[in-house]
């Protein structure tokens, strides 16, 4: 009987130890799974944080780039309009300094218009280097072509020389009405695409549009 009892005890002990081992293995597996899940959750959280920071970094870079381009447009237009104002002022001053010699003033105006054309072209060339926004770039190209068209007759007359150059200059203003409209279009486009509604403009085709109507539409959308 003692042997049977001992065998029973050994069997019971063996079963208990086996059950305990299974519980330890199960608990260890569960703990390992929890650690994996926790690590996966932490990795997901870190990735989300990294993605968010990257988005914020890219958005900040985009805002800085819009600001840079907008400032470049403003500086260019400021330089061109200032140079245009100086043409008439210098021609008038030159004529007055020569005792009211109107003919001398015309010569100075021809010279100043020629200088202005070079200055305006240089400013637009520098702006072209800075601008990447396609709508603004299109308006810049249109303005450039308009100024080129305006000043072609003066350049042709200068080649002929003599009075033809002076007479052609006398008929011109530094900025034609069409060029002023081009400057206006560039300004409005830069404001819409680089300041007020850059995301909306990024979805629009690069084509001639009614800028004033588009601006009013976007203003109405903001009010809603």
DSSP class of 206 = S
* Total residues found in the chain within this entry: 224
6: pLDDT strictly greater than 60: no
Residue 6 is assigned to a structural domain of this protein: no
Interval 167-214: pLDDT, tens: 999 999 999 999 999 999 999 999 999 999 999 998 888 876 666 666
Query: What pLDDT is attached to residue 40?
Result: 78
Residue 86 is assigned to a structural domain of this protein: yes
Model confidence at 12, pLDDT cuts 50, 70, 90, reads low
Whole-number average pLDDT of the chain:
84
Residue 2 is assigned to a structural domain of this protein: no
Give DSSP secondary structure letters for 72-123: HHHHHHHHHHHHHHHHHHHHHHHHHHTTS-HHHHHHHHHHHHHHHHHHHHHH
Model confidence at 119, pLDDT cuts 50, 70, 90, reads very high
Number of domains comprising the chain: 1
Cα gap 190→193, rounded to integer Å: 5
Q: What is the mean pLDDT of residues 142-152?
A: 96
Query: What pLDDT is attached to residue 49?
Result: 83
Nearest of 176, 92, 80, 89 to residue 119 by alpha carbon: 80
Interval 64-98: pLDDT, tens: 999 999 999 999 999 999 999 999 888 878 767 75
Model confidence at 106, pLDDT cuts 50, 70, 90, reads confident
Tell the residue number behind the tokens 């002929």, with chain if given.
160
Residue 218 is assigned to a structural domain of this protein: no
Query: What pLDDT is attached to residue 45?
Result: 84
Model confidence at 162, pLDDT cuts 50, 70, 90, reads confident
Tokens in use for 76? Answer: 């260019």
Q: What is the mean pLDDT of residues 4-28?
A: 64
More confident residue, 220 or 64: 64
Percent of the chain with pLDDT over 90: 51
Residue 148 is assigned to a structural domain of this protein: yes
Residue 74 is assigned to a structural domain of this protein: yes
Can you give the residue range of the structural domain that contains 194?
A: 70-207
* Predicted TM-score of the model (pTM): 0.75
Residue 189 is assigned to a structural domain of this protein: yes
217: pLDDT strictly greater than 60: no
Interval 49-64: pLDDT, tens: 888 888 989 899 999 9
Residue 203 is assigned to a structural domain of this protein: yes
């Amino acid at each position: 009987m003692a042997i049977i009892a001992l065998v029973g005890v050994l069997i019971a002990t063996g079963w208990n130890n086996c059950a305990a081992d299974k519980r330890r293995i199960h608990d260890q597996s569960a703990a390992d799974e929890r650690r994996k899940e926790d690590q996966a959750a932490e990795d997901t959280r870190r990735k989300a944080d990294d993605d968010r920071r990257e988005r914020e970094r890219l958005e900040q870079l985009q805002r800085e780039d819009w600001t840079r381009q907008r400032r470049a447009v403003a500086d260019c237009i400021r330089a061109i309009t200032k140079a245009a104002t100086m043409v008439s002022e210098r021609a008038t001053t030159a004529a007055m300094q020569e005792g009211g010699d109107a003919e001398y003033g015309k010569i100075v105006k021809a010279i100043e218009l020629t200088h202005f054309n070079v200055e305006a072209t240089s400013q637009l060339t520098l702006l072209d280097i800075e601008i990447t926004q396609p709508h603004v770039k299109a308006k810049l190209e249109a303005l450039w072509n308009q100024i080129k068209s305006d000043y072609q007759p003066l350049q042709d007359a200068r080649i002929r020389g003599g009075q033809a150059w002076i007479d052609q200059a006398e008929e011109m203003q530094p900025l034609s009405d069409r060029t002023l409209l081009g400057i206006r279009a560039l300004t409005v486009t830069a404001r819409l695409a680089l300041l007020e509604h850059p995301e909306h403009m990024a979805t629009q085709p690069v084509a001639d549009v009614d800028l004033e109507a588009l601006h009013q539409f976007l203003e109405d959308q903001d009010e809603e």
